[in-house]
Structure 1
Amino acid sequence: MVTSNPARCRAYALVAVSLTATAVLAGCGGAGRPNAGQAGYVSVTAGISQVVAADRQAMPALSGTTLQGKQLSLSYTGHVTVINVWASWCVPCREEAPDFAEAFQKDRSKGVQFVGINFEDDNAAAIAYNSQFQISYPSLQDRDESLVLKLRQIIPATSVPSTLIVDSSGKVAVRALGGITEPELIKEIAYTLTGS
């Protein structure tokens, strides 16, 4: 006959809940050691890395349906493109969203394009998020994670938010794993535009 010990059951339940919470939180902004084992990435701030021109890799072609139901194929040549992977349920994403809206307003006159990749949200939640934070640039819907999978050589699939700044030749110049502030974003866009 097997008997159960209520104290032991509670202890196992507490451990299971703790491990689950850790796994969930690691998926939102958890990037571990962002530059470990990746040649060419030079850390400039925690989570933000610049890539010298000679070491930059080509940005994969991305296309899909925007939150508004329009088809969008990204073209990187001839201008700088900021790509932000986000989700409405992600706390660091919500913290950086006003900074992205502000940076977009400041830098679009310089020909800088902004595009979001919405990770796993249903359309209504994603549209409400953009409305709340007054984000007016397009976001591609990535409910099935196919776009994020195309970026797996550049960013970890569980690193939400992540930001890539692509130079005018279509190569990744800056990668930010985790949240980024508006001053950091403006600085990294300037680095990509000028090379310094």
Structure 2
Amino acid sequence: MSRRSLMATGGAALAVVLAACTGKDPLAEQANAGDNKNYIAGDGSVTEYGAADRKEPVEFTGTLFDGKKVDAADFLGQVTVLNFWYAACAPCRLEAPDMQSLNTEFSAKGVEFLGVNVRDEKATAEAFERNFGLTYPSIVDKDGGVLLALTKFVPPAAVPTTLVLDKKGRVCARILGVADKGTLKALLTTALAEN
């Protein structure tokens, strides 16, 4: 059997096994679609968490592409946006201009934007940032450390995912998929108004 036919047979068998295990899970259906888009897309759904329903402050550490170390505790006292992305992700490219626009609008109001790059090497990430004029930093998260750390608070579940942290460092909102600019602006305005 040739290598190509062996891989095709193995891939078909894997797809059957995965399909049998996944049922009606839409994320699993996307993974099994075989369309080679290389990401699990969110549907743009927004989940807001009332103050009484929020878990404890998030905990993570990471390293920015410039080598600087960051810790979730560094962002306490301000509203923080965590945006999970990577350069080849089409929805990430779609939302990047709006992320930068909101970063420009809200940075003076006490909002900190922080990207979490889940896949790219430094040169690729920096090219993306230059192309879209992004001025906020990103954490290198190829090993999934930040992503994993945040799953105990709220699962990101798709790329892109945008999390809004309140001033106490707790997740107050999550957007799965492309963050609509108006929606994210409203979430930030609400979070800033909280005590």
TM-score (norm 1): 0.77
Bigger mean CA deviation after superposition, 118-127 or 70-79: 70-79
Question: Which of the two has greater helix per residue?
Answer: 2
Indicate the residue corresponding to 2:39 in structure 1.
27
Bigger mean CA deviation after superposition, 13-22 or 71-80: 13-22
What are structure 1's unaligned runs of at least 5 residues?
Answer: 1-8, 32-45
Give the deviation of 1:21 after TM superposition.
2.1
Give the deviation of 1:111 after TM superposition.
0.8
Indicate the residue corresponding to 1:94 in structure 2.
93
One-letter identity of the residue aligned with 1:68: D
One-letter identity of the residue aligned with 2:34: A
Is the contact made by 1:76 and 1:167 (CA closer than 8 Å) also made in structure 2? no
d(CA) in 2 for partners of 1:189 and 1:173? 10
The residue matched to 2:34 in structure 1 has which SS? helix
Indicate the residue corresponding to 1:37 in structure 2.
none
Indicate the residue corresponding to 2:117 in structure 1.
118
d(CA) in 1 for partners of 2:40 and 2:98? 18
d(CA) in 1 for partners of 2:49 and 2:32? 35
d(CA) in 1 for partners of 2:100 and 2:173? 19
Give the deviation of 1:125 after TM superposition.
0.7
One-letter identity of the residue aligned with 2:51: A
Is the contact made by 2:165 and 2:171 (CA closer than 8 Å) also made in structure 1? yes
**Of the candidates 56, 60, 63, which is equivalent to residue 62 of structure 1?**
60
Indicate the residue corresponding to 1:48 in structure 2.
46
Is the contact made by 1:96 and 1:180 (CA closer than 8 Å) also made in structure 2? yes
Give the deviation of 1:76 after TM superposition.
3.2
Indicate the residue corresponding to 1:3 in structure 2.
none
Is the contact made by 1:82 and 1:164 (CA closer than 8 Å) also made in structure 2? yes
Is the contact made by 1:174 and 1:192 (CA closer than 8 Å) also made in structure 2? no
One-letter identity of the residue aligned with 2:150: L
Fraction of identical pairs, as percent: 33
Indicate the residue corresponding to 2:69 in structure 1.
71
Indicate the residue corresponding to 2:170 in structure 1.
171
1:148 equivalenced with 2:147 (yes/no): yes
What are structure 2's unaligned runs of at least 5 residues?
Answer: 1-5, 16-30
One-letter identity of the residue aligned with 2:50: V
